[in-house]
Amino acid sequence: MTTLPAADAPIPIFTTLQDLYGSVTTALKHAERWDELAREFEIKFGHKPTYIARAPGRVNSHTTGEHIDYAHFGVFPAAIEHDILIACAPQSMSTTITHTSTNQPGSVVAENLHTRYTRQVFTPTRRHTVGDDVLQGAVRVAPWHLDIDKSELRWESYVKAGYYGVLNHFFTPSSASPVPVPVEILVTGNVPAGSGLSSSAAMVVSSTLAFLAINGIFDGEDAPTKGELVNIAMENEKRVGVNSGGMDQSASVIALPGSALYVSFAPSLHAEPIVLPRNAVLVCANSLVISNKAENARHQYNLRVVETLGAARVLSNYLNLEVDSTDGKTTKRHLVTLREVLARKGNFYRDEQDAQQEDLTQLRKGLEDMLKGKVLDYLLPRIEGRTGVTLDEMIYMSGMDKTEFMEVYLSWVDVETTHFELYLRAKHVFEEALRVLQFREVCSAGGESKLQTLGKLMNDSHESCDKQFDCSHSKVNDLVQVARSFSEMETGRGKGKVYGSRVTGAGWGGCIVCLVHREDVDAFIVHVKKRYAPYEGMSEEDLANWVFATEPGMGACG
Ligand code: NG1
């Protein structure tokens, strides 16, 4: 993937926390965590860490952009203050003495400050896998391999996923240093897991950064730009079993303080900071329903990826679009996305090589036309009372034969369902993509007086996630209602100013994000803490972790 300017910047390296967090107050708030990490590292490994890599979680700053990144539509996230920190250093003699399997090239001793997560020791090996070998001159080289257990959620899997990309991108036989150094790492983090704030991307990005830093790749000519790091981190995340889009990695890497990012993926990765209205504050509240994205991927996240890809294939067949390539004899089928279908239908498709930024006016018109017309109806089954289609019906509608369809669409992913909801999923994606553009336009025009409009877009997004994309949860919906009920409360300055609330991230549990007027933030937080039933009886200290206001923060750094 080629990248355009905002993503072309180098990954920043800071030597003071004030530079990183942008203010002394925020720096002081986080200083104890950094100190504790460095202290504990020294206790565990007998020497100081060389680097600390940091990657933040993400909230979808508005409204929307939920479940459309993997359909290649632009999204609008921001980084949050909560982050993952990884302290690292080359392995010392003391580690070698206590762990016989260490000090081999690239071996890792990984510890976590959280006592629930135990010490892990692992070493990458080169292993031949069919179709995965890399051609180095005339020689086929086996790629680096690390065992990642996808059947259960293990903390070190995210560390390994980050390491994978570093190994396979930077340690080829022709690199200046063909073997990685043995490393010790200590991980800590305060991004709540399984809550739609992207703890997994923050883990994978910070792990990628830590291994780059410790191997000196940051300082060399090979140092990746922010955009390249996003691409590596996206590849890495798939190693854990989730076929995610690039929203979280982009936010975690490229975000800048004070702004949300408009990130688009077509024709190539592009990120543009957009300032949110000054009085618009985002408040996150956690439903306390943990959504285990990796373990449930086959009937939730990955199934949605397949449904949106299936819908795109069926539409491209119906519209007779040229989405595949042919050499005259054989046709190579591509995984066409809904964005590509829209652009080809509207005649504004550009491929990556054009490296042109997307034309938002064309895109908006394309989306409006698609939603006005009858094209989407083609995704419905011909059977009254059903909205989803069976696998055989989907294959028939795709115009492909069964073997080919199974190979292209289902050989790389495990999904479980009786019906594929092509119509509902595609409708959500197109509507949500349009909402992102509308949200962006209001913010770009200095949307101070338009907080109601922004809030409405957020509420509509939630309804669509719940009803059409089926990625909310009854408890999340309860929490959304509690948040919205603040607008009926008297605050002394009139009715409570909450403009919109919706699920954020993948959903099926996790957090909601609410748009609140700056002057009502404290009262709003008290309101939610008091009224969401599962918070009953909790200490103020715990509640502070579950309901908090967040200002857009800095992306990943060392
Ligand atoms: P969360 O739930 O924050 O991990 C996931 C995906 C995103 C995006 C959102 C839904 C990962 C790492 N991230 O976010 O790419 O698709 O769901 O909008 O899987």
pLDDT digits (tens, 9 = 90+) for 51-97: 999 998 776 555 568 999 999 999 988 888 888 999 999 998 665 55
Q: Ligand 1 within 6 A of 249 CB? A: no
Nearest CA owner, ligand 1 atom 4: 198
Torsion sign across C-alpha atoms 214, 235, 168, 353: negative
Write out the two tokens for 33.
Answer: 């965590």
Q: Ligand 1 within 6 A of 340 CB? A: no
Most confident range (mean pLDDT) of 116-125, 277-286, 443-452, 455-464 is 455-464
Nearest CA owner, ligand 1 atom 16: 67
Interval between CA 194 and ligand 1 midpoint (Å): 10
Distance CA 197, CA 301 (A): 15
Question: Residues near 385 by Cβ (< 8 Å), separated by ≥ 6?
Answer: none
Distance CA 203, CA 246 (A): 14
Q: At what angle do helices 247-254 and 199-214 cross, to 10 degrees?
A: 50
Other C-beta atoms lying within 10 Å of the C-beta of residue 299: 13
Q: Given a cut of 80, is residue 503 above it in pLDDT?
A: yes
Other C-beta atoms lying within 10 Å of the C-beta of residue 212: 28
- pLDDT of 80 reads 82
- pLDDT of 201 reads 87
Distance CA 257, CA 291 (A): 28
What average pLDDT does range 370-386 have in this prediction? 92
Q: Ligand 1 within 6 A of 432 CB? A: no
Nearest CA owner, ligand 1 atom 8: 67
Nearest CA owner, ligand 1 atom 11: 244
- Chain-centroid distance, C-alpha 307: 19
Question: Residues near 104 by Cβ (< 8 Å), separated by ≥ 6?
Answer: 123, 182
Q: Ligand 1 within 6 A of 201 CB? A: yes
Peptide bond just before 267 cis, omega within 30 deg: yes
Is residue 535 a contact partner of residue 529, using CB atoms and an 8 Å limit?
A: yes
Per the prediction, the chain carries an average pLDDT of 88
β-partners of residue 531 are none
Nearest CA owner, ligand 1 atom 15: 245
Interval between CA 247 and ligand 1 midpoint (Å): 7
Give the E-state strand segments of 406-527 in sequence order. Answer: 498-503, 511-517
Say how many CA atoms lie within 13 Å of 219 toward its Cβ: 5
Q: Ligand 1 within 6 A of 252 CB? A: no
Nearest CA owner, ligand 1 atom 13: 244
- Residue 158 CA: distances (Å) to CA of 79, 110, 387, 408, 557: 19, 11, 37, 27, 18
Q: Ligand 1 within 6 A of 237 CB? A: yes
Query: Measured from the CA of 507, which atom of ligand 1 is nearest?
Result: 2
Place of tokens 């300032």: 275
Which of the two residues, 395 and 165, has the higher pLDDT score? 395
Distance CA 120, CA 78 (A): 32
Amino acid at 318: Y
- pLDDT of 4 reads 44
User: pLDDT, tens digit, for every residue of 8-25?
Assistant: 788 888 888 888 887 788
β-partners of residue 185 are 88, 110
Question: Residues near 115 by Cβ (< 8 Å), separated by ≥ 6?
Answer: none
Q: Ligand 1 within 6 A of 56 CB? A: no
Q: Ligand 1 within 6 A of 192 CB? A: no
Q: Given a cut of 80, is residue 315 above it in pLDDT?
A: yes
Q: Given a cut of 90, is residue 126 above it in pLDDT?
A: no
Interval between CA 242 and ligand 1 midpoint (Å): 9
DSSP labels for 376-406? GGGGS-SSTT---B-HHHHHHHHTS-HHHHI
β-partners of residue 78 are 59
User: pLDDT, tens digit, for every residue of 151-180?
Assistant: 777 889 999 999 998 998 888 877 777 789
Torsion sign across C-alpha atoms 389, 75, 148, 140: positive
Interval between CA 253 and ligand 1 midpoint (Å): 15
- Is residue 29 left, alpha or beta, with left meaning phi > 0 and alpha meaning psi from -120 to 50? alpha
- Which candidate, 113, 111, 107, 99, places its Cα nearest to that of 146? 107
Question: Residues near 223 by Cβ (< 8 Å), separated by ≥ 6?
Answer: 10, 11, 212, 217
Q: Ligand 1 within 6 A of 429 CB? A: no
Distance CA 471, CA 465 (A): 6
> Which among 61, 199, 208, 244 is the best mutation to test ligand 1's pocket, defined by most ligand atoms within 8 Å of the CB?
244
- Least confident stretch, 72-76, 104-108, 131-135, 262-266: 131-135
Interval between CA 505 and ligand 1 midpoint (Å): 5
- pLDDT of 3 reads 43
What average pLDDT does range 359-388 have in this prediction? 93
Is residue 175 a contact partner of residue 57, using CB atoms and an 8 Å limit?
A: no
Query: Measured from the CA of 246, which atom of ligand 1 is nearest?
Result: 15
Interval between CA 379 and ligand 1 midpoint (Å): 25
Interval between CA 69 and ligand 1 midpoint (Å): 8
Nearest CA owner, ligand 1 atom 5: 506
Q: Ligand 1 within 6 A of 507 CB? A: no
Query: Measured from the CA of 66, which atom of ligand 1 is nearest?
Result: 18
Distance CA 314, CA 338 (A): 10
Q: Ligand 1 within 6 A of 506 CB? A: yes
Other C-beta atoms lying within 10 Å of the C-beta of residue 328: 5
Angle at 123 between CA 120 and CA 124, to 5 degrees: 130
Q: Ligand 1 within 6 A of 465 CB? A: no
- Residue 163 CA: distances (Å) to CA of 2, 52, 65, 144, 445: 22, 15, 28, 10, 42
Q: Which helix (H) or strand (E) holds 428?
A: helix 422-444
Q: Ligand 1 within 6 A of 196 CB? A: yes
Domains contained in the chain, CATH given: 6-55+81-255 (3.30.230.10), 285-294+432-550 (3.30.70.890), 301-426 (1.20.1440.340)
β-partners of residue 51 are 88
User: pLDDT, tens digit, for every residue of 434-448?
Assistant: 999 999 999 988 877
Q: Ligand 1 within 6 A of 288 CB? A: no
Query: Measured from the CA of 201, which atom of ligand 1 is nearest?
Result: 12
Distance CA 242, CA 413 (A): 9
Q: Ligand 1 within 6 A of 304 CB? A: no
- pLDDT of 43 reads 94
Q: Given a cut of 90, is residue 423 above it in pLDDT?
A: yes
Query: Measured from the CA of 242, which atom of ligand 1 is nearest?
Result: 19
pLDDT band, very low/low/confident/very high, at 545 (cuts 50, 70, 90): confident
DSSP labels for 225-256? BHHHHHHHHHHHHHTTT----SHHHHHHHH--
Distance CA 427, CA 436 (A): 14
> Which among 63, 82, 200, 431 is the best mutation to test ligand 1's pocket, defined by most ligand atoms within 8 Å of the CB?
200
- pLDDT of 500 reads 96
- pLDDT of 482 reads 98
User: pLDDT, tens digit, for every residue of 318-341?
Assistant: 999 999 988 888 889 999 999 999
Interval between CA 19 and ligand 1 midpoint (Å): 29
Q: Ligand 1 within 6 A of 228 CB? A: no
Distance CA 461, CA 27 (A): 34
Write out the two tokens for 114.
Answer: 């959280």
Q: Given a cut of 80, is residue 195 above it in pLDDT?
A: no
- Least confident stretch, 440-454, 461-475, 517-531: 440-454
pTM, two decimals, is 0.86
